[in-house]
């Protein structure tokens, strides 16, 4: 059983967890922390710390914050040592708000002071949601009803006092506990570059993105977030632990990426990273029939070269003159294998930065998913640690497959 404290976002109450909590194990103790109606950011953090200490009485706990609550959770985490086992920040980062955002909030407050606050209108609310969720009237009604339970004074408090934040990114990256960031692909409020930079600075930080989701992750995709939370409670794997990463340069086909995910699962790759935005815009998983996205991270990144370390080698895979034929290639223990897009090639900058460049000696070129399958099979075939035999066959085959080779 896990003790988990949940901190809500701007103009959110416990209803923001209503869809999520019903999908989590009933064995967990789930506690919603109510935000004080007054006080500076520091005072609110101290108040919430006091609530946690009084309630937990020294018991280990986990902490999850959504949106503004994600920043507050990050700040709270710095007041606890080993008692806080893990931290999850949903739809936010622990950075200070930029000047333009503070200016925008000030304009909202001026408008409200002049015209009054009539609640979150539908047009503005839809801008926070994934396009596929903007016609969900029940979801819209739930968020607007939640917003309606707060006063103009509450909104003013959230947009003034609780908007005054200091940057906690470096402090958080220096901590030793597992920290997960979860965010929707269509969330326009999350600074992905900040998260990616933090992940590269600390092996304790993991990023998880959710498809078909905007800012209201706990309400838009509660099932997927619940799965991530259960994994977060059980897993301590970090970027440093990953031996095999597949890198895809700006892929455009969801079916190809789905097939790559299935290959990654079949051959025990640790993660699939991709650059660009084409995939996220087109993504609707049709080919990932084994639901590998629940088990293997699929994550958008800015730069594959930044993932290269002394131990993790950068391997480009493409039909490049001077490359090593795959049958002759000796795979490193840790590697990120980078593949070009369906309609292009690995660029010269990546090739120049690579530890090795490999090609598959075929007549003509294979498609992206087929290339990943062949590469991972080659790695598996050359490995001295893989297990073979009937036990593996029984675990891997379709449940309707009972065929056996008869002994001679």
- Considering the domain boundaries, does residue 315 fall inside one? yes
Contact 29, 2 (CB under 8 A): yes
> Do 233 and 247 fall into the same domain?
no
pLDDT recorded at residue 399? 75
> Do 92 and 220 fall into the same domain?
yes
- Considering the domain boundaries, does residue 144 fall inside one? yes
> Do 142 and 177 fall into the same domain?
yes
Domain count, the chain: 2
- Considering the domain boundaries, does residue 150 fall inside one? yes
Contact 256, 367 (CB under 8 A): yes
Percent of the chain with pLDDT over 90: 66
pLDDT recorded at residue 287? 47
- Considering the domain boundaries, does residue 338 fall inside one? yes
Q: Which domain holds residue 61?
A: 1-238
> Do 140 and 52 fall into the same domain?
yes
> Do 163 and 296 fall into the same domain?
no
> Do 230 and 262 fall into the same domain?
no
Q: Within the chain, how many helices (H) and strands (E) appear?
A: 16, 13
| Residue 3 bridge partners (DSSP) | 29
- Looking at 238, 259, 283, the residue that finishes a domain is 238
pLDDT recorded at residue 168? 96
**Which residues neighbour 263 within 8 Å (Cβ) at sequence distance 6 or greater?**
269, 369, 372, 373, 376
- Looking at 219, 238, 257, the residue that finishes a domain is 238
Phi, psi (deg, nearest 5) at residue 314: -95, 115
Contact 204, 179 (CB under 8 A): yes
- Considering the domain boundaries, does residue 401 fall inside one? no
> Do 167 and 66 fall into the same domain?
yes
> Do 270 and 219 fall into the same domain?
no
> Do 43 and 73 fall into the same domain?
yes
**Which residues neighbour 146 within 8 Å (Cβ) at sequence distance 6 or greater?**
11, 12, 13, 15, 16
Q: What's the pTM?
A: 0.68
> Do 217 and 247 fall into the same domain?
no
Using DSSP, state whether 13 is helix, strand or coil: coil
Nearest of 146, 347, 368, 141 to residue 252 by alpha carbon: 368
Q: Which stretches in the chain have pLDDT values below 50?
A: 236, 284-290
> Do 257 and 279 fall into the same domain?
yes
- Considering the domain boundaries, does residue 341 fall inside one? yes
- Looking at 194, 223, 238, the residue that finishes a domain is 238
> Contacts for 266-270 with beta carbons within 8 Å, 24 or more apart?
266/376, 266/396, 267/373, 267/376, 267/377, 267/379, 267/380, 268/244, 269/244, 269/245, 269/296, 269/376, 270/237, 270/241, 270/242, 270/243, 270/244, 270/245, 270/296, 270/297
pLDDT recorded at residue 285? 46
């Amino acid at each position: 059983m896990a003790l988990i404290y949940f901190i809500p976002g701007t103009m959110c109450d416990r209803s923001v967890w209503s869809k999520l909590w019903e999908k989590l194990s009933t064995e967990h103790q789930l506690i919603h922390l109510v935000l004080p109606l007054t006080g500076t950011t520091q005072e609110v953090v101290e108040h919430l710390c006091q609530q946690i200490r009084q309630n937990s009485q020294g018991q280990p706990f986990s902490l999850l914050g959504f949106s503004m609550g994600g920043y507050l959770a990050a700040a709270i985490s710095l007041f606890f040592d080993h008692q806080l086992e893990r931290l999850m920040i949903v739809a936010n980062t622990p950075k200070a708000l930029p000047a333009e955002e503070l200016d925008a909030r000030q304009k909202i407050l001026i408008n409200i002071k002049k015209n009054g606050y009539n609640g979150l209108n539908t047009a503005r609310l839809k801008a926070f949601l994934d396009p596929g969720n903007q016609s969900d009237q029940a979801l819209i009604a739930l968020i607007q009803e939640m917003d309606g339970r707060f006063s103009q004074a509450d909104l003013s408090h959230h947009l003034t006092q609780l908007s005054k934040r200091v940057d906690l990114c470096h402090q958080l990256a220096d901590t030793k506990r597992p920290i997960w960031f979860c965010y929707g692909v269509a969330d326009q409020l999350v600074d992905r570059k900040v998260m990616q930079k933090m992940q590269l600075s600390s092996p304790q930080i993991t990023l998880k993105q959710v498809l078909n989701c905007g800012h209201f992750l706990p309400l838009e995709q509660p099932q997927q977030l619940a799965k991530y939370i259960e994994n977060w409670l059980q897993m301590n794997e970090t970027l440093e632990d990953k031996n095999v990463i597949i890198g895809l340069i700006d892929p455009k086909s969801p079916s190809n990426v789905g097939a790559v995910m299935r290959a990654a699962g079949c051959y025990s790759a640790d993660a699939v990273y991709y650059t660009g935005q084409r995939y996220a815009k087109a993504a609707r998983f049709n080919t990932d029939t084994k639901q590998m996205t629940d088990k293997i991270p699929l994550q958008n990144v800015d730069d594959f070269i930044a993932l290269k370390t002394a131990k993790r080698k950068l391997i480009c895979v493409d039909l490049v003159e001077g490359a090593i034929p795959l049958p002759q290639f000796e795979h490193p223990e840790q590697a990120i294998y980078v593949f070009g897009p369906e309609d292009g090639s690995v660029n010269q900058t990546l090739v120049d930065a690579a530890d090795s460049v490999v090609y598959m000696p075929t007549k003509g070129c294979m498609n992206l998913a087929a290339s990943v399958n062949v590469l991972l099979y080659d790695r598996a075939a050359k490995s001295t640690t893989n297990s073979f035999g009937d036990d593996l066959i029984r675990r891997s085959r379709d449940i309707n497959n009972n065929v056996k080779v008869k002994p001679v």
